[in-house]
């Protein structure tokens, strides 16, 4: 089993911190937990750790992604296996390198030019509904009221090596894969990888190195997805796609852009995955149905816009 | 009010104060290829051949480089013309009329 519990944080760049704060706090309804040194920290109401989204001013796109592991001992194994894997830079990070985050292992994968941090603890600030006889949700949620971070889709040139890293070093498994065809010579277009029973904790799409396609928040159901879309219209948030369903993962979705142009997703549903569940394969000729189950047509902006 | 003209077309729009190029095109019933609509992806770049634009929002230098700015490239989702402006889009700009009645109104 993987030592990784979930994607715990995303650090992203934004062009204007004040506008970003309005989007993430007032439209998405995340809880600001800290503002310091030009960085904004947020958590969702159903998260207990100090933050899951960190925004820094200057530029656009992703800075790095954090994965929380179960116990400090897990770091030794990840560090050792990453060093054995090669093709990556492995460094130890100290407690406090990231505000409120424990020591950990930082890995840079040049094959996709993305940075990942593995850590075992973060200052716990608590669920917004508490832990003693909790209510079903906080009474005064703001806007969408996104409960928690769910996953991210990253782009890179050599996603085969990156996927192998996550499978060999951190023991993720592939829930779904998009590939050119079913022949032995096929090329993989995208991987959906899970460390848990979520349908994906991270996805990798062949494309430009270092680019962010989107990061997603976990919603309860289709009703909340529709409600979120209504709020995006009220707040003049550009919607890229949706509300609709993915064939891939069966998830229900809206894609939209933050004020800097980073793509966000509100994601609900999807099936419960298991490590022994057969990997689902999508072929290029049916990729449009896989991505947008109802329109069954690829949308130019979805496949060509990223930060 | 600045006049926006699209080269090699009959599209002319009188822009409102502070209106972006894309805002004016939409109001006049036209659509074009766009991306994030937030100045973050660079998909909507076009060349300004006459006139000048400014930006009310911060645009990252990684998206629109200083060299591009100097050479007259702009992001239509964020660029606000300061004077009569002519843009010369490439074919991938995909300018098209999506609301003929708005286009007719805009021409009056």
Quote the pLDDT of residue A120: 98
Cis peptide before A90 (omega within 30 of 0): no
Mean pLDDT taken over chain A: 97
pLDDT at B107 over 80: no
With CA atoms as reference, report the closest residue to A55 among A25, A17, A106, A99: A17
Rounded distance, CA A27 to CA B42, Å? Answer: 24
- pLDDT bucket at A2, cuts 50 / 70 / 90: very high
- pLDDT bucket at B85, cuts 50 / 70 / 90: very high
Rounded distance, CA A304 to CA A213, Å? Answer: 9
Quote the pLDDT of residue A136: 96
- A304–B57: do the CB atoms touch at under 8 Å? no
- Two structure tokens written together for A283: 């072929």
DSSP string covering A122-190: B-B---TT-SSS--SS-TT--TT---EEEEEEEEES-HHHHHHHHHHTS--EEEEEEES-SSTT--EEE
CATH superfamily to which B3-107 belongs:
Beta-grasp domain (3.10.20.30)
Rounded distance, CA A92 to CA A110, Å? Answer: 17
Rounded distance, CA A29 to CA A151, Å? Answer: 18
- B60–A305: do the CB atoms touch at under 8 Å? no
- A60–B40: do the CB atoms touch at under 8 Å? yes
B:9-68 residues touching chain A, CB 8 A cutoff: 33-41, 43, 57-63
Give the three-state DSSP class for A20.
Answer: helix
With CA atoms as reference, report the closest residue to A273 among A202, A171, A219, A196: A196
Quote the pLDDT of residue B91: 86
- Catalytic annotation present for A265: yes
For residue A112, list its beta bridge partners.
none
Closest Cα in chain A to B92: A300
Q: What is the mean pLDDT of residues B7-34?
A: 94
Rounded distance, CA A69 to CA A119, Å? Answer: 6
pLDDT at A126 over 90: yes
Q: What is the mean pLDDT of residues A238-244?
A: 95
Quote the pLDDT of residue B38: 96
Note the pLDDT tens digit of each residue in A265-307: 999 999 999 999 999 999 999 999 999 999 998 888 888 889 9
- pLDDT bucket at B92, cuts 50 / 70 / 90: confident
Helix axes A73-85, A159-168, angle to 10 degrees: 140
Quote the pLDDT of residue B24: 96
- Catalytic annotation present for A41: no
Q: Express as a percent the part of chain A with pLDDT over 70.
A: 100
- pLDDT bucket at A97, cuts 50 / 70 / 90: very high
A:96-115 residues touching chain B, CB 8 A cutoff: none
Residues in chain A: 307
Give yes or no for B83 touching A (CB within 8 A).
no
Provide the greatest CA pair distance for chain B. Answer: 40
Least confident of A69-73, A123-127, A173-177, B89-93: B89-93
Q: What is the mean pLDDT of residues A82-93?
A: 97
Contacts of residue A263 in chain B, CB cutoff 8 Å? Answer: 36
ipTM of the complex: 0.85
Rounded distance, CA B25 to CA B48, Å? Answer: 15
- pLDDT bucket at A196, cuts 50 / 70 / 90: very high
Rounded distance, CA B78 to CA B37, Å? Answer: 8
Is A4-124+145-304 in CATH node 3.10.180.10? yes
Q: Are B64 and B75 in contact (CB under 8 A)?
A: yes
Residue B71: burial class (beta carbons within 10 Å; 0-12, 13-18, 19+):
exposed
Note the pLDDT tens digit of each residue in A199-228: 999 999 999 999 999 999 999 999 999 999
Quote the pLDDT of residue A91: 98
User: In whole angstroms, what separates CA B28 from the centre of its chain?
Assistant: 12
Q: What is the mean pLDDT of residues B57-71?
A: 95
- Two structure tokens written together for A273: 């995955």
Note the pLDDT tens digit of each residue in B30-49: 999 999 999 999 999 999 99
pLDDT at A245 over 80: yes
* Domain boundaries defined on chain A: 4-124+145-304
Note the pLDDT tens digit of each residue in A151-167: 999 999 999 999 999 99
Q: What is the mean pLDDT of residues A3-22?
A: 98
Q: The pTM is what?
A: 0.94
Nearest chain B CA: its distance from A120 CA (Å): 33
- pLDDT bucket at A51, cuts 50 / 70 / 90: very high
Rounded distance, CA A167 to CA A124, Å? Answer: 29
How far apart, in Å, are the Cα atoms of B53 and each of A29, B4, B67, B108? 34, 11, 15, 25
Give the per-residue SS3 of chain B: CCEEEECCCCCEEECCCCCCHHHHHHHCCEECCCCCCCCCCCCCEEEEEECCEEECCCCCCCCCCHHHHHCCEEECCCEEECCCEEEECCHHHCCEECCHHHHHHHHC
With CA atoms as reference, report the closest residue to A189 among A282, A302, A299: A282
Quote the pLDDT of residue A139: 95
pLDDT at B108 over 80: no
Rounded distance, CA A166 to CA A73, Å? Answer: 18
User: In whole angstroms, what separates CA B53 from the centre of its chain?
Assistant: 9
Give yes or no for A210 touching B (CB within 8 A).
no
Quote the pLDDT of residue A299: 86
Dihedral angle sign, alpha carbons of residues A128, A134, A137, A138: negative
Quote the pLDDT of residue A33: 98
Quote the pLDDT of residue A157: 97
Nearest chain A CA: its distance from B95 CA (Å): 15
Q: Are A205 and A114 in contact (CB under 8 A)?
A: no
Could you say which of A11, A23, A151, A213 is catalytic?
A: A151
- Catalytic annotation present for A132: no
């Amino acid at each position: 089993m993987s030592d990784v519990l979930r994607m715990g944080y995303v650090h992203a760049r934004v062009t204007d911190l004040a506008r970003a704060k309005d989007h993430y706090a007032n439209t998405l309804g995340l809880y600001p937990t800290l503002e310091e040194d030009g960085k904004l920290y947020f958590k969702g109401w159903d998260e207990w750790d100090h933050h899951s989204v960190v925004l820094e001013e200057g530029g656009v796109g992703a800075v790095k992604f954090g994965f929380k592991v179960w116990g400090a001992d897990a770091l030794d194994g990840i560090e050792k296996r990453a060093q054995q894997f090669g093709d990556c830079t492995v460094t130890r990070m100290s407690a406090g390198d990231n505000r409120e985050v424990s020591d950990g292992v930082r890995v840079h994968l040049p094959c996709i030019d993305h940075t990942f941090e593995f850590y075992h603890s973060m200052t716990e600030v608590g669920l917004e509904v508490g832990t003693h006889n909790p209510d079903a949700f906080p009474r005064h949620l703001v806007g969408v009221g996104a409960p928690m971070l769910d996953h991210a889709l990253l782009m890179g040139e050599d996603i085969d090596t990156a996927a192998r890293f996550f499978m060999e070093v951190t023991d993720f498994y592939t829930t779904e894969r998009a590939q050119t065809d079913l022949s032995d010579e096929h090329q993989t277009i995208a991987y959906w990888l899970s460390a848990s029973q979520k349908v994906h904790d991270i996805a990798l799409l062949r494309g430009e190195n270092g680019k962010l396609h989107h990061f997603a928040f976990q919603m309860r159901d289709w009703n909340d997805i529709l409600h979120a879309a209504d709020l995006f219209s009220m707040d003049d948030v550009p919607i890229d796609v949706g509300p609709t369903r993915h064939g891939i993962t069966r998830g229900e979705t809206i894609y939209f852009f933050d004020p800097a142009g980073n793509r966000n997703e509100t994601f609900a549903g999807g099936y419960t995955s298991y490590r022994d569940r057969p990997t689902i394969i999508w072929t290029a000729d049916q990729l449009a149905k896989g991505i947008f189950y109802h329109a069954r047509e690829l949308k130019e902006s979805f496949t060509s816009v990223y930060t | 009010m600045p006049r926006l003209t699209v080269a090699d077309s009959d599209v002319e729009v009188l822009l409102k104060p502070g209106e972006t190029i894309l805002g004016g095109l939409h109001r006049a019933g036209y659509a074009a290829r766009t991306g994030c609509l937030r100045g973050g992806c660079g998909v909507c770049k076009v060349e300004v051949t006459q006139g000048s634009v400014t930006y009310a929002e911060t645009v990252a230098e990684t998206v629109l480089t200083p060299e591009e700015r100097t050479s007259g490239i702009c992001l239509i989702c964020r660029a606000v013309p300061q004077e009569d402006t002519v843009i010369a889009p490439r074919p991938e700009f995909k300018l098209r009329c999506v609301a003929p009645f708005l286009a007719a109104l805009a021409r009056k």
